[in-house]
Amino acid sequence: MHLSPDMPIGRPSFELSEDQLATVVDLLCLSAAEARKSVTPGMLEVPITIQVRKAILRVKKQLGLTNLQVGGEFELLDPNTNDSDVLGRIDIILQFLHQFGDEEAYLAVECKRVAAGDTPLNRKYVTQGVDRFVTGQYAQGHHWGMMLGYVLRLPVSPLVDEINSRIASTYGQPATLEVMPAHPESLSMHTGALSQGATGHTIRLLHIFVDMTAAATLSA
C-alpha cells in the first residue's frame, strides 16, 4: 500500500509508517464488515460506531495486534486552561507502541454516515468531519487522520464525487481526493492533503467508505 513518498518530519511520536497505516486500514475494514451484521435500519451514527468499536477490539485480538491500543470517543481537553471544557470528542483513536505515554499522539478516526443522493448527510461528512481536522480541533500537528464513511445507500461513486466537490470548493483544488487501491472489505478509498489551521501544517486524511446499507432508513 503506497500512501506517500514523503518522509514525515517533526515530532517523532506523531510519525506513522506505511505498514502501521496499512494495519489500521485492515483493522477498520475488517471490523466494519463484522459490525455490519449488527446494524439495523434507521440506526444512527453513534450506535453504528459503538458496534464498530466492539468489532475492532475483537478483530484486534484475533490478529494479535499487541502493539496497538484502541480508544473510543476520546475527549480532547484544552491543556492551557483550568476549566473542564471539552474541545471535541473523536469517535475512535488508535495508538501504536511508540505513541504510548504521549496523550497528544494518536491516530484519529472520525466516523460519519453518508448516502448516495442525501446532500445534507454528505455535507456533514465535510462540515462536521473533515473540517475538524482542517481547523486543528482534531489531530493538531499530526501527519495523518482518517475518515470512516458508513455508506447507507449505494452506489458509492456519486456520494464520493459530491464530497470531493465540496472539499475542493471549501479548501481549494489541492485538497481534492486521490483514488487509492481499496481494501477488499471497503467500497472506496481515497487520500487528500489539507492545510491545517493558520500554521500551514499539512495533514493527510485517508478516507475509507464501507458498506453499511443495512441502515437504509436515514434518520437525522
Run of H or E residues at 112:
strand 107-114
Q: In this structure, are residues 31 and 70 in contact, taking their beta carbons and an 8 Å threshold?
A: no
Q: What is the pLDDT of residues 88-124, one digit of tens each?
A: 689 999 999 999 988 889 999 999 999 999 999 999 9
Question: What's the whole-number average pLDDT of the chain?
Answer: 88
pLDDT: which is higher, 88 or 143? 143
pLDDT band for position 75 (cuts 50, 70, 90): low
Q: Is the pTM of this model over 0.85?
A: yes
- What is the model's pLDDT at position 197? 75
Q: What is the pLDDT of residues 15-70, one digit of tens each?
A: 999 999 999 999 999 999 999 999 998 899 999 999 999 999 999 999 999 999 99
Handedness of CA 52, 57, 62, 67 (dihedral sign): positive
- What is the model's pLDDT at position 144? 97
Q: In this structure, are residues 200 and 217 in contact, taking their beta carbons and an 8 Å threshold?
A: no
pLDDT: which is higher, 6 or 192? 192
- What is the model's pLDDT at position 4? 47
In this predicted structure, the answer to whether residue 174 has a pLDDT above a threshold of 60 is yes
- What is the model's pLDDT at position 198? 76
- What is the model's pLDDT at position 5? 43
Q: In this structure, are residues 209 and 33 in contact, taking their beta carbons and an 8 Å threshold?
A: no
pLDDT band for position 86 (cuts 50, 70, 90): very low
In this predicted structure, the answer to whether residue 85 has a pLDDT above a threshold of 60 is no
pLDDT: which is higher, 146 or 136? 146
* CA angle centred on 91, ends 112 and 25, rounded to 5°: 75
In this predicted structure, the answer to whether residue 176 has a pLDDT above a threshold of 70 is yes
Angstrom distance (rounded) from CA 158 to CA 160 = 5
- What is the model's pLDDT at position 21? 97
Taking residues 131-154, report their average pLDDT: 95
In this predicted structure, the answer to whether residue 163 has a pLDDT above a threshold of 90 is yes
